Every structure is written in structure tokens, then in C-alpha cells.
A and B are shown apart, each in its own frame.
Chain A
Amino acid sequence: MKRRNCILAALLACSLIFTSGCWDQVEIEDLAIVRAIAIDYLPGRRAPYLVTLAIKRPAAMGQQEGGGGGEQVVFYAGVGASIALAIEQAATHIPRRIFLTHNDLVIVGEQLAKHGLLPVLDFVVRNPDMRLSAFLLIAKGTGQELLHTAERLEGSITEEIHGLIDQAEDAAETQPVPIFRFLRKITTPGEEAYTVVIQASPLPKDKLPAANGEGAQAGEGGGNGGGGAKQEKSLALAGMAVFRSDRLAGILNHSEARGKLWLAGMTTRGIMAVDDPVHPEETVTLSLTRSQTKITPSVQAGRISFRVEVEAEGDLISQSSQADLSTAEMIEKLNSAKAGAIKVEMEKALQKMRQLETDVVGFGAILKRREPKIFREVADRWPEIFVEVPVEILVKANIRRTGLQAKPAQPLSTAK
């Protein structure tokens, strides 16, 4: 018995050698941890895919606080006839093994998005290292340029993008979409996919002169243009990229994107402005806290139509006039003004979607759920039918609270 235990112990000890694996052995010191991957398309070339990998610099690991401005990610790029080949080419320059497991940003350049996202999606699903919960972002311009934007607040550009995404989950009109949701939308009949656009744009303070007069632009290009070349850029999530199948159809701006979200029934947070009911030249700012959308398809004599009912709640957060808006009558007026503003946003979004012939709200999918037989007849022609289908929009808005003051404080001189 004792001898048997000895043999067993020896066997167990031997197994320790193999627990780290033989063929797939991984040492953390040998890994190049990819934090973001940007994929671009270079039209007219035999190797059209340009892949840029943002790799965390090993020295930066573990001393993130005291880095003192050192660059935390290093970029490597490669081109190839497929994404995997491009990565392979980049790998020849990287002294470590590419480790994609910690990558949760997939940034796709505008050109590639227009060309079609299928190669990207295929790569992500097939490769066991990539995760389906990674966010898909469409870059205005190329993804590579976007990654090369200088970071401002965080230690690295990838951290900066992460921060933007985290914040955007509250702001909702620029919702980043994980890849599995995108995939689900493009595979579901009667529904098209969308995701967020990311853009490097000049900071508002740099924009200001341009707003004052046309001279600013010429000035930038001319003699005192030193500032123009150095113009700092910062990243922003700038609207919603909508797709037709796997191809980029167009980009919705902020208010259109919010209109789309009203239609799709996602709770949107944010603020919007309406005219003051007493002094129409002033504005009242309202917040949006909660909303509910109901879409009902109806089919009468073979004619498909939809009815969208939205109920939106929110608070009054500021007013620029001194009128007392805290009366029932005023609130009623504000409610209908807000409902009107929401309806305008929704109609604009719908108009844009029709113009781009892409049903990102998924009216077709809703029809399929309620009336599967009717949808089956029109499924093949759905994009054409969607453009002409009448949609009735009904909005009900409620202002629930007025912040910590009911009516504006009245300075003595103007009080009447």
C-alpha cells in the first residue's frame, strides 16, 4: 500500500510538467496583448486588408500610474488578402505571440464598411480567441488614423475609446453594439444592423473661430496657420452607422439616431430643447428619463401599415425665461411641445432610413412575429416595401418633475 502511494505521488508530480500544456503552452512574458484591432480596406489592391493592432507595451504593465506620459500602446500593421493574412504579416514584426483574447474593440474603417463587413464577422466568430462581446465601431475615415489620434485624458487611446463607450451607454443615441448583436440583426429577416460611428474631430475650442466668420478657414491655411497644423483632435462617438445587409448604407446624425432609438423602443437618456410656451424665442430644456415604445403592425386588404406609440417621461431641467412654468396649463403645453419635438425626430429618422432603404428598426421582424404568413409573402421584397409602408407615429410626453425649484427665482427689478 505504501509503495503504491509512492508511485501515485510520483505520477502526480510528473503530471505537473504537463499541466501547462505542450503544444499550446502560453507564457505571459511571450504574449503581445492586443487591446484594439482596426481593420481597413484599401480598394484596388490585391491585398486589400490593412489591419492595425494596438498592443499594450509590456513595460507599461504593472506601473500604469507612474508611467509619466510614456506611450502605453504600440501599433503594428500589416496588409493581406484576408484579415488573417494581414495579421500574419504584422506578426513578423512583433517579437511576441499575438494574443487576441483581451481585445474587445473592433474598429472598422469606412471603406471596409462600405465594401462589406462579412470578412470581419467571419474572422471574429471563427477565431476562438476573439470574443463575441467585443464592440464593433465604424471609424469615419480609416481605422488606422483613428487609432493614431493622440489620447487626451487616459493613458492610451484604447482606454480613451473604452471610456467613451462606457459613457455612451448612458447617452444612448450613440449606442455601441457588441458583435453578437450585430450578427443577430444582419441574420434576422426583416431587420438591418447598426452600430456607432467613431470620429476624430477638432475640439470645440478649435472650432470656435470658424463659427465666427469665414476668414478663419483661410487664416488657418495661410500665414498664421501654425495652429491649424497642430490642431488637436479628440475622439467622439458621432452618430449611428446603418447597414444594408453587411454594407454601410449611411450615417445617422445625433438627432436622427435618437429618432431611430425612439422608434426601436430603447430607453433613451439625454436632453432636448423646446420653445418656451410663454416667450417663444427662449428655450426650455427637458431631460428624458424613461420611454416606452409600442409598434403594432396592421394588415388591411393586403396593405401593411405600422403604428408606433411612444410614451416619454422626463423632467424640466432649465429654462431661459422667467415665466412661471409650474402650472398645470404650462406643463400641458410643454408636454405637447415635447411630444411634437420627439415626433419630428422620429419622422426625420424614418425619412433617412427610407432614403437609405434600410430597416434598422426591424419593422419587418415585428411584422414577422405578428403576421408570419404575410411576412413570408413579402420577405424577399421587404427593403422595397419598407420604403413605402405607412407608419403612423403617436407620441405622448409627460414632464414629471421640475428639478429642485418649481419656478425661476424672480429678481426684483424684472418681477411684474
Chain B
Amino acid sequence: MSFRAVSTIYKYEMLRTWRTLFQSVASPVLSTSLYFVVFGTAIGSRIQAIEGVSYGLFIVPGLIMLAILTQSIANASFGIFFPKFTGAIYEVMSAPISFFEILLGYVGAAASKSFIIGIIILTTANLFVDIQVAHPIWMLTFLILTCISFSLLGFILGLWAKNFEQLQIVPLLIVTPLVFLGGTFYSVNMLPPIWQTITLFNPVLYLVSGFRWSFFEVSDVHVWLSLAVILSFLATCIAIVWWMFKTGYRLKK
């Protein structure tokens, strides 16, 4: 294991974040604040409390999840897609490191970045509403697991994408709908029964529900079920990445 190589990739990717600080950190914070102003304060003040939690407070975990899901995918996919696109990936591929080390560097950096954004958003939200976290350990567990597994998904997407269009289409057409329909802004109980059933097939629901439970002890599904879903999602991503590396998919001719 070449820790130096892993930390080199990691630092390189983190540095890219600092170079593009505004779009990397400022824009998710800004958009979350906007959501907050619109949904939390303006509209939320007219919505009654959900299971004893005021609406402004209720949407905080969902907003954080929304941000870290999209950020993890965007960062990790771009991080590996861009060198593949410019051809600069040749250097990483010819370096004396294993695929696993490459993965640790890229996904580690993307996940760290998402985690930082998650914490920043939480802090920003705390300016609008007074947030109490009932189960901090659970909260961090869900946050970290989500950052890692969706960064892995982004990495897979970045490896798979042959062009910029493909790179954009998955987040746009699949992830965004899943996130919005995953109980980010509402409790699933508020939906008609048929939609409640359909929503149960949406993995994002489990993430948001578990994450929200760690704040308010209010959830759509049991917290252990949430944990099981996120862990199996993580395992699936690891299996796909493992297969990609084993076959040299899109990297090695």
C-alpha cells in the first residue's frame, strides 16, 4: 500500500476544491439557504408541524442529504472523468499503485468534500432554526456512509461516462427525481397509499428517513432498516467498482 500515492491523489483532489472554492462550497450553501428561505420560512410557516417537528426544522436533514448526494456524485464523477477526458489519467494508470489506492484517493477526497459541505449546511441551517441532534453518532454514521457510497456511485459514473452528456444525464434524470421523491421535503405518510408503496422502492427514502431519525427520532421506516439499506447500497457500489477494476473497464485496453 502506497500511502504517499493515496495522499497525493487525495490532496490533489482537495486542492482542486480550493481552486474552485466558490462553485465547490459556496454554491451548495447558497442553494440550500435559498431552499431554506423558500420552503422552510416562507412556505413552511404555513405548514403545520409534522409529527411534532416544525416544518422548518423537519426539512433540514433532507436538505443536507439533497446536497451531499448531488455533491458526492458530481465531485467524484468529475474527478475521475476529467483526467480520463484529457488523457492525463495515463499517469495514474502507469504509477506503481493498485486500483484500490486510486479509488481511496479519488473517492476519499470526494467523500471528504461532501462531508465538509454537509457540516457547513448544517451550520448554515442552524442560523435559521435551532437544531438539536438527538443521536449524534447515528447522524455522523449516516452522513459518512452516504458521502462514501454516493461518491463511489459518482466514481462509477465518471468511469462509465464516455462524454459530458452521459456525465450529466444520470444526476439529472435519475438522482434528482429520487432525491425529491425520497421524502426530502415531506413525510411519506403525507402521500396517498399507492405512492407510499412506490416510494418504498426508492433507496433515498431510507437515507433521509434514517438521517432525520438521528435528529428528531421521527422516521418513515425503522432506523435499522435505513442502515441496512445504506450498507447494501455501499456493498453494491463496492462490488461494481471491484468488477470495473478487475476487468480494467474503460481504463485499460
The judgment on whether A and B are partners is: no
Residues of A within 8 A of B (CB): none
